[in-house]
Structure 1
Amino acid sequence: MIIATYNVNGINGRLPVLLRWLAERQPDIVVLQELKAPQEKFPLSAIRDLGYDAIWHGQKSWNGVAILSRVGEIHETRRGLPGEVDDNQSRYIEAAVNGILIGGLYLPNGNPRPGPKFDYKLRWFERLIEHAAGLFETGLPVMLAGDFNVMPTDLDVYKPERWLNDALFAPEVKAAYFRLLDQGWTDALRTLHPGEIIYTFFDYFRNAYARNAGLRIDHILLSPTLADRLADAQVDVEVRGWEKTSDHAPVWVQLAEKPKRRRKPTASSQVGASL
């Protein structure tokens, strides 16, 4: 099963790109961000023509998240994070699909820093951490996927020295990301590509895509039961080079039907471990 996340940067304006990618990659479940469309303007008919059902949490001109599925019903469990009653930004949607609980998220950008937008980003991240802890403690197969708007390490950003004052690379934001991981989540892409320069976002300016001057800000986090099924994780970077495309590239994981067999330790490894 292939599950993907994709910041489409305007679902109606980029609909031909999204439909082309869906037809070519044929992911089973997709989490979308930055719909930039009110609830009634979601292009459900075009998406259903490709065999997907969908739920979405729209917002006029800004934000917006969705979950698509071609492998079973989408049972929505939540839209919006708990913890801030008057937060009306459409940034989180959660559903059970084909035996997996999926939280689709679009974390705030936070710029300029310092300022109210950065403060909101930190509050939102804290709410996510608290909610994720509850999901993790259920022991269910859970996935958190989306645009986290954070580059966790220097390896995740082209020329990190240029981003020291940016909200996406702020120490508080990186620390929040690792506090989230410390609950026990697996960063799928980095786990399978530990030392690789791999980006998911390329700015429209300064020929960033052609120069491979990007950022890794789109992440898929897996609970232990899903991490044991992780078979592959990739970025469809070529999609970023298509005409009238998003500034993000789709990220996807492939999950095996059954957990991978754990190799039994050999006698020599047991001896080595005891030394």
Structure 2
Amino acid sequence: MKIATYNVNGINGRLPVLLRWLEEAQPDIVCLQELKAPQERFPIDAINAAGYNAIWHGQKSWNGVAILARDMEITEVQRSLPGDPEDQQSRYIEAIINQIVICCLYLPNGNPYPGPKFDYKLSWIKRLKKRTNQFIDMDLPAILIGDFNIIPTPLDVYKPERWEDNALYRIEVRKAYQQLLKKGWLDSIRSLYPDEQIFTFWDYLYKSYDRNAGMRLDHILLSPYIAGRLSGGNVDKHVRGWEKSSDHAPVWISLE
């Protein structure tokens, strides 16, 4: 089974790119972030025509998450991260597919640091840890997947010394990410490529993609119950080079 995440950076504007990639890569489950479309403007007809069922939580102009599945039923669990009933941002959707809990997330960026956006990011991570600890404690097959907006280590960014005061790389968020791993979550791509510099995002400015001046922001974490099924994975970097593509590239893993 092939499971992927892709920050599409505007699903309607980049729909041809998404459909092209779906046809080429043929993933079984796909988590999307940054739909940037209200609920009623999600292109469900085109997604269905490509062979996928979908659930989604849209938001006008910003955020938005979705889960797609090919030839499998999607049972929605919830479409917001528990812990803050006042939070109206569309950043989390959770479902069960093929007896696996799929948690599609678009973690807050947090910039500028310091400030309320960074505080919101830390509180969001705290809520995420509380929810996902339940999966570990119950020994469930679960996947945390999406755009974490976290650069985990110096290996995961071009020129890390430039990012010390950026909310993507602040020590607080890197420690929070490591705490997830210590709880038992497996960083699937890093486990497959322990020493390689792998990026999933390249800014549109300064020819970042051409220079491979990127960062790794998109992650797929596996609970201990399912981690042993990991058989492969990679980043479809070439998709970032397509015309009118997102500034992120799709990331995927395969499970036995």
Shift of residue 71 of structure 1? 3.1
Please give the secondary structure, in 1, of the residue aligned with 2:243: coil
Partner in structure 1 of residue 139 of structure 2? 139
Contact residue 21 and residue 239 of structure 2 kept, 8 A: yes
Q: Is the 8 A contact 2:33 2:146 kept in 1?
A: yes
Q: Of the two, which has the highest radius of gyration?
A: 1
CA offset at residue 52 of structure 1?
Answer: 0.2
Tell me the equivalent position of 2:18: 18
Task: Tell me, in whole angstroms, the C-alpha distance in 1 between the residues paired with 2:124 and 2:71.
Answer: 31
Q: SS at 2:205's partner residue? A: coil
Does residue 128 (structure 1) correspond to residue 121 (structure 2)? The answer is no
The TM-score with structure 1 as length reference comes to: 0.92
Cα separation, 1, equivalents of 2:179 and 2:224: 16
CA distance in 1, matches of 2:146, 2:152: 14
- The amino acid that maps onto 1:106 is Y
SS in 1 for 2:71: coil
Do 1:71 and 1:98's aligned partners in 2 also have CA atoms closer than 8 Å?
no
CA distance in 2, matches of 1:186, 1:108: 21
Match of 1:94 in 2: 94
Residue aligning to 1:226: 226
Distance across 2 between alignment mates of 1:197 and 1:182: 22
**Equivalence for 1:60:** 60
Structure 1 residues 198-207 or 134-143, which shifts more? 134-143
Deviation of the 1:91 alpha carbon: 0.3
Give the structure 2 partner of residue 43 of structure 1. 43
Counterpart of 1:112, as a letter, is P
CA RMSD, 1 decimal: 0.6
Q: SS where residue 179 of structure 1 aligns?
A: helix
- Matched-pair contact (CA < 8 Å) for 1:29–1:71: no
Could you tell me how far 1:103 is from its partner in structure 2? 0.2
CA distance in 1, matches of 2:68, 2:60: 20
CA drift at 1:225: 2.4
Unaligned runs of 5+ in 2: none
Q: How many residues align?
A: 256
Q: Is the 8 A contact 1:141 1:225 kept in 2?
A: yes
Post-superposition offset of 1:224: 1.5
Q: Identity rate of aligned residues, in percent?
A: 65
Q: Which amino acid aligns with 1:41?
A: R
1:144/1:222 contact within 8 Å kept: yes
Aligned counterparts of 2:123 and 2:233: Cα–Cα separation in 1: 30
Kindly provide the CA deviation profile for residues 43-99 of structure 1, in whole angstroms up to 9, marking residues without a partner as x. 000010011000001000000000000031100001111111100000000000112
Provide TM-score, normalisation by structure 2.
0.99
Superposed CA offset, 1:207-231 (max 9, x none): 0001011000100000122210000
Large movers: runs of 4+ above 2 Å? none
Residue identity matched to 2:62: W
**In the alignment, what sits opposite 2:202?**
202
After TM superposition, list the pairs within 5 Å mapping 1:1-275 onto structure 2. Answer: 1-256=1-256
Aligned to 1:12, the other structure's residue is in SS state coil
The C-alpha deviation readout for 1:240-263, integer Å capped at 9, x for no partner, is: 00000000000000001xxxxxxx
2:60 and 2:136 map into 1 onto residues whose CA distance is 32
Separation in structure 1 between the aligned mates of residue 159 and residue 40 of structure 2, nearest angstrom: 41
CA distance in 2, matches of 1:136, 1:31: 21
Offset of 1:147 from its aligned partner? 0.3
Secondary structure in 1 matching 2:199: coil
State the Cα distance separating 1:107 from its structure 2 match: 0.2
Q: Is the 8 A contact 1:147 1:219 kept in 2?
A: yes
